[in-house]
């Protein structure tokens, strides 16, 4: 990967799962990295050596302004990341994902930060009728509060960019998996299944398991994020995934086979707000960013399992 073209970066949520991998890539490129994280989900150990950690919340304007001092570019990954939890916790979801984003945008305008990379989500899309890959022009009619909040962040960023002097880049991440994904009962089906199987418990599939997702390795997502910051693509929106569909049943079968072939999944009613089909067309990211995801689930899953065993 070539030199970044910027010297000092702020990664909000940089002690978390994806954010820490982005911070690690930037440090490896010689960028001075500052991480802003409230450590509600992220952990200090995830922050790469050489990066500065500011412990604080993106909703606190004074803390955000302090974290932005001297920064050339912002990678805004701090968020409450849960479709399921956003249904009951819609107020807290909006406070962090909408108001937190606006707090960072306001501070960027005051600090004269120009480039802003925003981590959005597949949750902004309407459900697709088939598992065929969807482009960035697919209807954005989210069916969860989380998706509504992420789409609101996109709209605010694109609407205000010219007024605030920002160069926005929006990345819609699909189902990301890999090392450092902390366990919660709501996020990351691969991590949830691994945790249950390691405890001798069956994975629980909500619905019939034939819902299809794009599972993208965190290293590929981090690479795409840094690539986007290096390209002249201000104002563009990109799908970040692999373009390959995998059913939840297939994920469960893979993990049961790896960890405990005697266990069979259990089934429960589907959760509201979750897309049945969520597979991206990534041709735009390939063309404009040079994005080329290398990780395949069947090849990377042993690495993920090993990380959890090491915990």
Residues designated catalytic:
146
Q: What angle do CA 146, 177, 310 make, to 5 degrees?
A: 125
């Amino acid at each position: 990967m070539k030199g970044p073209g910027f010297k000092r970066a702020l990664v909000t949520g940089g002690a978390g799962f994806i954010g820490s991998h982005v911070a690690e890539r930037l440090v490896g490129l010689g960028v001075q990295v500052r991480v802003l994280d409230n450590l509600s989900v992220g952990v200090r150990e995830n922050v790469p050596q050489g990066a500065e950690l500011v412990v604080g919340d993106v909703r606190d304007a004074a803390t955000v302004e302090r974290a932005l001092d001297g920064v050339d570019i912002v990678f805004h990954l701090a968020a409450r990341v849960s479709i399921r939890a956003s249904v009951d916790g819609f107020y807290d979801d909006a406070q962090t994902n909408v108001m937190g984003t606006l707090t960072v945008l306001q501070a960027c305008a005051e600090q004269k930060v120009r480039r802003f990379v925003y981590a959005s989500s597949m949750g902004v899309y309407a459900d697709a009728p088939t598992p065929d890959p969807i482009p960035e022009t697919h209807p954005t009619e989210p069916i969860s509060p989380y998706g509504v909040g992420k789409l609101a962040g996109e709209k605010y960023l694109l609407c205000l960019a010219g007024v605030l002097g920002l160069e926005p880049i929006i990345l819609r991440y699909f189902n990301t998996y890999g090392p450092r994904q902390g366990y919660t009962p709501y996020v990351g089906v691969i991590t949830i299944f691994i945790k249950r199987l390691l405890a001798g418990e069956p994975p629980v599939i909500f619905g019939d398991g034939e819902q299809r997702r794009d599972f993208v390795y965190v290293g590929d997502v981090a690479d795409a994020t840094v690539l986007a910051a290096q390209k002249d693509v201000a104002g563009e929106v990109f799908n970040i995934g692999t373009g390959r569909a995998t059913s939840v049943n297939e994920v469960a079968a893979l993990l049961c086979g790896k960890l405990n072939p005697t266990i069979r999944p259990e089934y429960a009613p589907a959760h509201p707000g979750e897309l049945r089909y969520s597979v991206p067309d990534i041709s735009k990211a390939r063309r404009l960013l040079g994005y080329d995801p290398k990780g395949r689930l069947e090849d990377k899953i042993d690495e993920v399992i090993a990380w959890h065993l090491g915990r």
